[in-house]
Amino acid sequence: MAALSDDDFVGCTNREIFSRTYEKKLWGWSGTRKYYSGHGSHEREVVTGYVNALEHFLVGLAGPKIIVDLGCGDFNVGSRLVHLASKYIACDIVDGLLKENRKLFKYDNLEFKELDLVNDEIPMSDVIIVRQVLQHLSNNDIHKFIDKIHHRCKYLIVTEHLPIRSDFLPNIDKPSGPGFRVSFESGVILTEPPFNLLVLNSQVLCEFKERDGIIRTFAYRLQ
Ligand SMILES: C[S@@+](CC[C@H](N)C(=O)[O-])C[C@H]1O[C@@H](n2cnc3c(N)ncnc32)[C@H](O)[C@@H]1O
């Protein structure tokens, strides 16, 4: 059977799209788990480097921190950040994935929540993490997300899979689905048109070369 592409999901809800993405193992698989969020969620160098960079950033922020992780996936990455939060709310749109996560990861300060970051209300927090999620969404869905996060958090930490060349045209639209924009030499940059996210400052926390691109993490201080 030919691999499914974004075009095969046009007309489906995001819940259907990402449930089927996991069911059909379009992001790969591991021997031990039913749900697998892909290479970028498991590659040792990428995960360790990301966790170290976030640890450094979060420890530098004063006081207890409520963290909301949107599109938490199989939680191989998020599970390494829970100890840095006073409360960690890990959200995803795929119900079966959350059920598996609840069995595997149990901490007093951790809650798993079924939530659609495009349509549902986002809990108040100090830090929102969105790691390799927006890259799979259409510009319309990303717009809806941005419209909702005003005054919901102080910091937004976004990780995106981007082309290697730095002069790429950002934010070329695509349908929501398992693919991402690197296949047509684009990638999501929230501070660029048409999103124009307003930030007080931004910094790159870390970046890692992947086979076909760069996985880059931005920290935005929101207004
Ligand atoms: C590639 S995985 C990344 C998982 C995790 N953030 C990581 O870096 O390991 C993308 C995740 O985003 C979730 N997702 C996609 N659209 C979503 C939405 N509208 N609301 C919440 N989660 C969503 C998918 O179900 C999937 O688990």
What is the average per-residue pLDDT within 82-100? 97
Q: Within a domain: residue 3?
A: no
- Cross-strand pairs, 158: 130, 218
Domain range spanning residue 69? 12-222
List pLDDT tens digits, range 36-75. 999 899 999 999 999 999 999 999 998 889 999 999 999 9
Q: Within a domain: residue 84?
A: yes
What is the average per-residue pLDDT within 18-40? 92
Query: What pLDDT, on the 0 to 100 scale, is given for residue 223?
Result: 82
pLDDT band at 175 (very low <50, low <70, confident <90, very high): very high
Ligand 1 neighbour 17 (Cβ under 6 A): no
Q: Within a domain: residue 7?
A: no
Q: Is residue 113 scored above 80 in pLDDT?
A: yes
C-alpha 109 – ligand 1 centre gap (Å):
21
Ligand 1 neighbour 37 (Cβ under 6 A): yes
d(CA 83, CA 85): 6
C-alpha 92 – ligand 1 centre gap (Å):
6
C-alpha 6 – ligand 1 centre gap (Å):
15
Q: Within a domain: residue 133?
A: yes
Query: What pLDDT, on the 0 to 100 scale, is given for residue 1?
Result: 39
Q: Are strands 155-162 and 127-131 parallel, antiparallel or unpaired?
A: parallel
Q: Within a domain: residue 4?
A: no
Q: Is residue 97 scored above 50 in pLDDT?
A: yes
d(CA 87, CA 132): 22
Q: Within a domain: residue 51?
A: yes
Where residue 67 sits, what CATH number does that domain have?
A: 3.40.50.150
Q: Is residue 216 scored above 80 in pLDDT?
A: yes
Q: Could you give the number of structural domains in the chain?
A: 1
Neighbours of 164 (CB within 10 A): 12
Ligand 1 neighbour 117 (Cβ under 6 A): yes
List pLDDT tens digits, range 147-169. 999 889 999 999 999 999 999 99
List pLDDT tens digits, range 183-204. 999 999 999 999 999 999 999 9
Q: Which residues contact 28 (CB under 8 A, 6 or more apart)?
A: 36, 38, 39
Ligand 1 neighbour 21 (Cβ under 6 A): no
What is the average per-residue pLDDT within 92-116? 98
What is the average per-residue pLDDT within 108-127? 97
Q: Within a domain: residue 56?
A: yes
C-alpha 134 – ligand 1 centre gap (Å):
8
Q: Within a domain: residue 95?
A: yes
C-alpha 78 – ligand 1 centre gap (Å):
12
